[in-house]
Amino acid sequence: MNVGFIMYNWKDISPNLDSTLRLIHESVKRGHKVSLIYPSEMAIRRTIVWSYCHVIDSSLTYSENPVSFYEQVSLIREFHPMSIHDVIFLRDNPPLDNHVLNFLDTLDGSTLFINSISGLRKANNKIYPATLSSLYDSNDASKQWIPLTTVSRNKEYLKKVIAEYDKDKFILKPMDGFGGSGVILLDKSSKTSNYNVNSLLDFYIDSGKKNNYIILQEYIETELKGDVRIIMLDGKPLGSMRRVPAKDDHRSNVHAGGHCVAHKLTSLELELCSAIGEQLVKDGLFLVGLDLMGGKLIEVNVCSPGGFAEINEEGNIKIESNILDFAEEKLKSLKK
């Protein structure tokens, strides 16, 4: 099987925790030809998409340990049509380049994408949960799995929403952030926070002169600190962990200094997974990371959901092996 990974630069990987590295390592161990593809090196000519592919040298013997494997890898740069790939994992960090998705449209139907191009277009932003009607039942409070969320780039309206929030605390974050970057906890009971609202909105909306969208989200109070990351594969929960924030930070993301502990999904969390799973598969979103807090869905991560190393360690499983099993079987079924 020829497997391509559209991803961030190989040199930027943190091998101790990187989930894409573990998918690549598992692919190589199974004897697949593996290429790393950077969006900046892709092009389309007529109807053919080409790219420089950094192919992992299969003539070498590599370690069973992913960290040692990373240090040993030899890459051979080759120029190929993207159609040579049987399976393509889109593992680039958000926001995704829409031009790249347009390039890949030419391969739709001939290559297995994890995740699908149409699914990524629909869900590679933080608005996606709000489109899932199965997650909100206005007549049943126990099935209102989406926290109150407002998305806008209109400063006047955002200030109005902040003033009218019936709770003191809420989260402010940029639409295109990831890894906890730019996530701020605001407390209306604090005069300092109120004084800073104007400048914060100006900064987030006008940063880079892009007229950026802002997300205001209900702050979820929980008995257990942190949030829950669930890896969903083919619409079902594969593994989970709880990410606990550092003492001096409200963010639980590992990139922001949080740490991970084992977590067994509650009946409510399993019910949420069941409610969203069918729609994920329908949208071609086979590999997804859900972030939950207090039984509510905070985010759906579809670009490069991580946490494999931590969940593997805490749950005594091997997530990347399950994912490659799925990809191999899915490809077989598509070729029948």
Least confident of 115-119, 202-206, 291-295: 202-206
Of the listed ranges 83-87, 97-101, 190-194, the least confidently predicted one is 190-194
Residue 122 has pLDDT above 80, yes or no: yes
What is the rounded distance in angstroms from the CA atom of residue 306 to the CA atom of residue 308?
A: 6
Residues 6 or more apart whose Cβ sits within 8 Å of residue 147: 217, 218, 220, 293, 296, 297, 298
| Strand residue runs (E) in the chain | 2-7, 33-45, 48-56, 75-81, 87-91, 112-114, 149-152, 169-174, 184-187, 214-218, 227-233, 236-244, 259-262, 287-293, 296-301
Question: How confident is residue 250, by pLDDT bands cut at 50, 70 and 90?
Answer: very low
DSSP state of 224: S
CATH 3.30.1490.20 domain span(s) along the chain: 148-218
In the chain, which segments carry CATH 3.30.470.20?
A: 222-301
HSE-CB of 104 using CA atoms within 13 angstroms: 27
Do residues 303 and 288 lie in contact, with contact meaning Cβ atoms separated by under 8 Å? no
The tokens describing 243, both together, are 């990410």
Q: Where in the chain is the domain with CATH 3.40.50.20?
A: 2-122+330-335
Number of neighbours of residue 251 by Cβ within 10 angstroms: 23
Tell me the sheet residues that pair with 233: 236, 287
> In 13-33, which positions are buried (b, 16+ CB within 10 angstroms) versus exposed (e)?
eebebbbbbbbbbbbbbeebb
Q: pTM of this prediction?
A: 0.85
Nearest CA among 246, 249, 227 for reference residue 301? 227
Pairing of strands 227-233, 287-293: antiparallel
pLDDT given at position 15: 97
Contact assessment for residue 323 and residue 287, using Cβ atoms and an 8 Å cutoff = yes
**pLDDT digits over 77-95, tens only?**
999 999 999 999 999 988 7
Of residues 97 and 221, the one with the higher pLDDT is 97
Contact 75, 36 (CB under 8 A): yes
In this structure, the chain runs to a length of: 336
- Residue 238, sorted as left (phi over 0), alpha (psi -120 to 50) or beta, turns out to be alpha
Decide if 240 contacts 208 (C-beta within 8 A): no
Question: What is the architecture, at CATH level 2, of domain 222-301?
Answer: 2-Layer Sandwich (3.30)
Tokens of 281: 């598969």
Q: What is the pLDDT of residue 180?
A: 65
Backbone angles phi, psi at 172, to 5 degrees: -120, 130
Which CATH fold topology does 148-218 show?
Answer: Dna Ligase; domain 1 (3.30.1490)
Q: What is the arithmetic mean of pLDDT over 194-207?
A: 77
Q: Which value, to the nearest 10 degrees, does the dihedral of the CA atoms of residues 289, 293, 297, 298 take?
A: -80
- Domain boundaries 2-122+330-335, corresponding CATH code: 3.40.50.20
Question: Residues near 107 by Cβ (< 8 Å), separated by ≥ 6?
Answer: 49, 82, 83, 85, 88, 113
Evaluate whether 294 touches 218 at the Cβ level (below 8 Å): no
At 8-33, the pLDDT tens digits run 999 999 999 999 999 999 999 999 99
Of 52-56, 191-195, 241-245, 302-306, the one with minimum mean pLDDT is 191-195
pLDDT-derived band at 147 (thresholds 50, 70, 90) equals confident
- Look-up: residue for tokens 């006008």? 206
